[in-house]
Amino acid sequence: MATFISVPLKKSSEVDLVKPLSKFVTATYPAGEEQTEYIRAVEELNKLRKNALGRPLDKHESSLEIVLRYYDQLCAVEPKFPFSENQLCLTFTWKDAFDKGSLFGGSVKLALASLGYEKTCVLFNAAALASQIASEQNLDNDEGLKTAAKYYQLASGAFSHIKDTVLSALNREPTMDISPETVGTLSLIMLAQAQEVFFLKATSDKMKDAVIAKLANQAADFYSDAFKQCQYKDNLPKYFYFQEVLPVLAAKHCIMQANAELHQSVLAKQKKRFGEEIARLQHAAELVKTVASRYDEYVSVKDLTDRINRSLTAAKKDNDFIYHDRVPEVKDLEHIGKAALVKATAITPPLSQKFTDVFEKMVPMAVQQSMGVYGQRKAETVNRLVGTMREATNLCNGVLASLNLPAALEDLSGDSIPQSIAEKARSIVQQGGLQSIEQLIKDLPELLTRNREILDESLKMLDDEETTDNELRSKFNQRWNRTPSGDLYKPLRTEGANFRSVLDKAVQADQVVRDRYNTHCDMIALLCKPESELNAAIPSANPTKTLQGSEVVSVLRAQLAQLDELKKERETLEGEIKGVTFDMSTVFLTALAQDGAINEEQLSMAQLDQLYSAYNQRVQASLRTQEQVLGQVQTSHQEFSSLKQSNTEANQREEVLKKLAAAHDSYVEISSNLREGTKFYNDLTEILLKFQNKCSDIVFARKTERDELLKYLLISVQQKAFNSVFMTVLLFFSPCLCGCRFFQMPMGYNPYASYGQYNMPYMQYQGAPGQGGYPGAPPAGQPQPYPGYPPQPQQPYYPQQ
């Protein structure tokens, strides 16, 4: 009698995980031990997939452990890589587990760039393999019964999980084997079989008849639910698999109901309800008789039938000769209780016993993305503080240059180069003078052009592929059933537009630097000349040696020294600000574990405030000190200027010295800006190359998908043409074949008649309140599925091999 239903495995095409995942790791993580470890983990993941899907699996727990481990690894790796059609695009192809194809076409298959699809199919295989392992168990011992019950419940839970998640995981219509209707039916079948195993265990342990009757009645109820689910779904009976399953479900329902009645009859006898005992045994005999007549090729009930008949014969004999108790109608019998001891196993990874995440050290993408945004916020904070100090320093230098300080204090003789100007001239010469700036300015357009070319080539790849996709969509219409390239490329186009805007702003910044250079290039050139030529170019003036010992000169020098000290403190403070480090990944990981999400802005702002609030206070204090000292310098300079002898030569000399000081400051700033610009363009080149690789990868994946879909569509057209020609030839030659001796079926022959009408017996029986009835005919207006099945479509909806 022990006939149990198992599910066939899905088959997958080979997928190379190493190349795309390693490419992502190389592009995302710097070269070193960490990157090497992640690449080894990628290779391990690829090996794990081959072990789980790339070879035949034995119906053994060790094989199931391999499949479950791969599923657990997929669940663990999913949040750590950006798997999607427009980022890390991996296309997984799976065949329908039940559709075996036809003479002129391969089995139905579906290819999707979705890790959720891969997870769904792997979990389906885990459930299918669990059902096969359970069906192979020896149910004559406790160990086999426990193992079978365990894996039927696991299979039921896995199928139920797929039912709840498949549509959201795929975002499109799945193949029929993993559709919610199909896996929902399979889940019910597995649960019914698990309940039957508990019934067998109770029978083996010789538990009380009341308990066994409830277990059997619950199993009958589960089989009834599975039968109805399978029978009334228009899209299920077309599978030959379900055509084979239906009679087994119907038979199992009758058998479990017969067992319930048999054990309940024992209770009736114990309570001296001999008429009820006979009624229940008669009902049980009728049920097994129906099974023997309709489903004998699927399930044997000989032993059960003999046992029921013996009990019924003895009961009738005793009642006829001794008790003479009235035998009630079946509909008047008290309903049998139910006891459900099974439950679909909840699918909560990890499912394998000894799972170890090979990517354990890699943080999830949510944390990586939060770290990226945090890095930007931190850079903005550092740039704001450093920029504020640099602006203050430039303002200070500008004010001093406008006052010709400190050159005015050093130029009391009026006929020699002030020391500060001489030092500035030597500094410019040491840094390369005009030649270094002009070379940097000359390099900028080349760097800009290179970046623009990379960006243009990247976007052109997207444009060309999108144009081809649109042309094919117009040609094939609804049959071109893949995501439009225009929708898929939106994030990349937005990213490209941002790069374009960045380049436009960089061009504007380049022009500002050139204008500043043109303004000061003459004076910078003068500072680059030999000291004798520089001295000759500076006008002479009447000496003012009388001011050398004055108090105002001493005060000005002390104030200038205070400003110099302030600038040095800022340089030190800038180094400290840039050197601040903090590992935010721990904070983000903790938030993700506790809340399931990361409030990046709140966490980042709180941490940055904690890290930089003290530095911000020091910067503001430095600004206030500078403002105060500059005010004092301006007051002292006014007094100093009033003491100097004012004449045309002195004014001309002071004006030249101011321009020379300003030219030096501009040289320093321009050089810094040009070096930053060069670094910006070089860094942007690397970023744009990554963007180009991203565009190239997705375009390649789309082309591969396009070629497969084109191949499928062309094969479909050829199949239609072949079928048409074949039928034409067959009709043409049919008169010639009349004389041939072929085996002919009788008129009206139904090839499925051997299956019989799989409607349950005693359809008129409604059952007592609380007791489940037998599966009846479909609701009014809904056709019977047997005999005569829903017509097979000429072309399957999904691509064929």
pLDDT confidence tier of residue 783, bands split at 50, 70 and 90: very low
Residue 146 CA to residue 130 CA, distance in Å, equals: 13
Least confidently predicted of 6-10, 215-219, 266-270, 474-478: 474-478
Looking at the chain, the whole-number percentage of residues with pLDDT higher than 90 is 42
Query: How far apart, in whole angstroms, are the C-alpha atoms of residue 116 and residue 165?
Result: 9
- Local confidence band at 372 (pLDDT 50, 70, 90 cut-offs): confident
Higher pLDDT, residue 791 or 717: 717
Asked if residues 88 and 82 have their Cβ atoms less than 8 Å apart, the reply is: yes
Give the confidence band of 361 by pLDDT, cuts at 50, 70, 90. confident
Q: Is the pLDDT of residue 785 over 80?
A: no
pLDDT of residue 402: 84
User: What are the distances in angstroms from CA 506 to CA 110, 113, 497, 577?
Assistant: 47, 37, 14, 26
Is there a contact between 156 and 345 (Cβ–Cβ < 8 Å)?
Answer: yes
| Residue 398: strand pairing partners | none
CA distance 637 to 619: 26
pLDDT score of 62 more than 70: yes
Q: How far apart are CA 67 and CA 58, in angstroms?
A: 12
pLDDT of residue 552: 79
Question: Is 195:212 a contact under the CB 8 Å cutoff?
Answer: no
- What is the percentage of the chain residues whose pLDDT exceeds 70? 84
pLDDT tens digit string along 422-450? 888 888 888 888 888 888 888 888 999 99
pLDDT of residue 412: 57
Using alpha carbons only, what angle is made at residue 252 by residues 251 and 254, rounded to the nearest 5 degrees? 65
Across the chain, what does the average pLDDT equal? Answer: 83
Instruction: Extract the tokens encoding 140.
Output: 């004559």
Q: Is the pLDDT of residue 131 over 80?
A: yes
Q: What is the pLDDT of residues 656-702, one digit of tens each?
A: 888 888 888 888 888 888 888 899 999 999 899 989 988 888 888 88
At 279 the pLDDT is 92
Q: Where is pLDDT greater, at 419 or 63?
A: 63
What's the pLDDT score for residue 748? 36
Q: 322: which DSSP letter?
A: I
To which H or E segment does residue 111 belong? strand 109-112
Please state the pTM of the whole predicted model.
0.66
Domains 11-332 and 376-465+480-579+607-707 fall in the same CATH topology: no
Q: Inform me whether the pLDDT recorded for 738 exceeds 60.
A: no
Q: What is the mean pLDDT of residues 692-717?
A: 81
Contacts of 63 (CB under 8 A, 6+ apart): 57, 129
Taking only the tens place, the pLDDT of each residue in 545-555 is 445 556 777 88
Q: Which of 426-430, 478-482, 735-739 has the highest mean pLDDT?
A: 426-430
Residue in this structure with the two tokens 């095409």, named with its chain if needed: 13
Answer whether residue 398 shows pLDDT above 50. yes
Rg (CA), the chain: 43
Tokens 């008790």 found at: 323
What's residue 800's pLDDT?
34
> Own/partner pairs for 662-665, CB < 8 Å, 24+ apart?
662/398, 662/401, 662/520, 662/523, 663/520, 663/523, 663/524, 663/526, 663/527, 664/424, 664/425, 664/427, 664/428, 664/524, 664/527, 665/394, 665/397, 665/398, 665/401
- Rounded distance between C-alpha atoms, residue 588 and residue 599, angstroms: 8
- The torsion defined by the Cα of 203, 207, 211 and 217, in degrees rounded to 10, comes to 10
Q: Which residue has the higher pLDDT, 776 or 317?
A: 317
| Residue 787, amino acid | P
Bridge partner residues of 314 (DSSP): none
Determine the average pLDDT of the residues in 749-755. 35
Asked whether residue 739 carries a pLDDT value surpassing 90, the answer given is: no
Mean pLDDT of 626-634: 91
The region, left, alpha or beta by phi > 0 then psi within -120 to 50, assigned to residue 107 is beta
Q: Which two tokens stand for residue 151?
A: 């894996």
**Rama region for 396: left / alpha / beta (φ>0; ψ in -120 to 50; rest):** alpha
**Comparing C-alpha atoms, which of 9, 91, 88 is closest to residue 52?**
9
Q: How confident is the model at residue 731 (pLDDT cuts 50, 70, 90)?
A: low
What is the sign, positive or negative, of the torsion defined by CA atoms of 469, 472, 476, 479?
A: negative
3-state secondary structure 466-502: HHHHHHHHHHHHHHCCCCCHHHHCHHHHHHHHHHHHH
Instruction: Please return the burial class of 323, using the count of CB atoms within 10 Å of its CB with bins 0-12, 13-18 and 19+.
Output: middle
CA distance 675 to 443: 11
Please answer whether residues 75 and 153 qualify as being in contact, where contact means their C-beta atoms are separated by less than 8 angstroms: no
Q: Is residue 777 predicted with pLDDT exceeding 60?
A: no
107 phi/psi in degrees, rounded to 5: -70, 160
Per DSSP, helices labelled H in 538-599 are 551-578, 585-595
Length reported for the chain: 801
Phi, psi of 83 (to 5 degrees): -70, 115
Local confidence band at 238 (pLDDT 50, 70, 90 cut-offs): low
| Residue pLDDT, tens place only, 145-199 | 999 999 999 999 999 999 999 988 887 788 889 999 999 999 999 999 999 999 9
**Are the C-beta atoms of residues 526 and 663 closer than 8 Å to each other?**
yes
Is the pLDDT at 69 greater than 60? The verdict is yes
Q: Which of 277-281, 744-748, 768-772 has the lowest mean pLDDT?
A: 744-748
- Provide the residue ranges of all domains of the chain, joining segments of one domain with +: 11-332, 376-465+480-579+607-707
pLDDT band at 759 (very low <50, low <70, confident <90, very high): very low
In order of 396, 624, 798, the CA distances from 475 in angstroms are 70, 72, 19
523-535 pLDDT per residue, tens: 888 888 887 777 7
> Average pLDDT for residues 319-341, to the nearest whole number?
88
Give the per-residue pLDDT at 725: 61
For residue 557, what pLDDT is reported? 85
Print burial letters for 40-58: b (CB count within 10 Å at least 16), e (below 16).
ebbeebbebbeebbeeebe
Query: What's the pLDDT at 237?
Result: 59
Q: Which residue has the higher pLDDT, 623 or 731?
A: 623
CA distance 45 to 692: 27
Distance of alpha carbon 171 from alpha carbon 697, whole angstroms: 22
Average pLDDT over residues 312-328: 89
Q: Tokens 């990517």, residue?
A: 359
Q: pLDDT tens digit string along 601-616?
A: 999 999 999 999 999 9
Rounded alpha-carbon distances, angstroms, from residue 482 to 113, 176, 486, 705, 796: 11, 18, 11, 9, 16
Q: What pLDDT score does 260 carry? A: 95
What pLDDT score was predicted for residue 646? 57
Looking at per-residue confidence, does 752 or 105 come out higher? Answer: 105
Give the C-alpha separation, 257 to 705, whole Å.
52
What pLDDT score was predicted for residue 747? 35
Q: Please, what CATH class does the domain formed by 11-332 belong to?
A: mainly alpha
How big, in percent rounded to 5, are the helix, strand and coil portions of the chain? Answer: 70, 0, 30
The pLDDT score that the predictor gives to residue 463 is 93
Which backbone phi and psi does 234 adopt, to 5 degrees?
Answer: -60, -25
pLDDT at position 745 is 33
Any idea which of 4-8, 35-39, 209-213, 738-742 has the lowest mean pLDDT? 738-742
pLDDT value of residue 743? 34
pLDDT tens for 553-563 read: 788 888 989 99
> What is the model's pLDDT at position 782?
41
Q: Tokens in use for 518?
A: 């043109």
Q: Does domain 376-465+480-579+607-707 have CATH number 1.20.140.50?
A: yes
Mean pLDDT lowest for which of 474-488, 535-549, 755-769?
755-769
Pairing assessment for the beta strands 92-95 and 109-112 based on DSSP bridges: antiparallel
CA distance 211 to 340: 11
433: left (phi over 0), alpha (psi -120 to 50) or beta: left
Average pLDDT over residues 258-274: 92
